[in-house]
Amino acid sequence: MARRRSRIRQEVNRVLYSGDPSRYVIVYIDRDPETGRQSLRELPAARVVRASEWALLLDDGDTVIPLHRVVEVRERGGRVVWRRWSREGEG
């Protein structure tokens, strides 16, 4: 698992230090604490302040998104830069 988190962190850092993170969107799994329902959310990469060893820290100072919930990084135009493997491919 650590290797997978490391890969996600590398991709997010590459986007953050690209010179224009506003060109990118990070897609992650969001869980509603009251209902337990999951949904995919899009996060403008420019909102990410830092990618730690295990999470993304956002600009509001409160929000932390665990790296294992990140499923995709793409350009705003829709081109996928990185995508998590499907469960079948993860081994």
Distance CA(79)–CA(30), nearest Å, equals: 22
Domain residue extents for the chain: 2-85
- Which of 61-65, 77-81, 82-86 comes out lowest in average pLDDT? 82-86
Confidence band for 7, pLDDT divided at 50, 70 and 90? confident
> For 39-52, what is the mean pLDDT?
96
Model pLDDT, residue 2: 61
Residue % of the chain over a pLDDT of 90: 75
Q: Which CATH number fits domain 2-85: 2.60.40, 2.40.128, 1.20.1070, 2.30.30?
A: 2.30.30
> For 31-60, what is the mean pLDDT?
94
Block residue for tokens 């992650």: 28
> For 26-32, what is the mean pLDDT?
94
Distance CA(17)–CA(68), nearest Å, equals: 21
Residue % of the chain over a pLDDT of 70: 88
DSSP 2: H
Model pLDDT, residue 86: 55
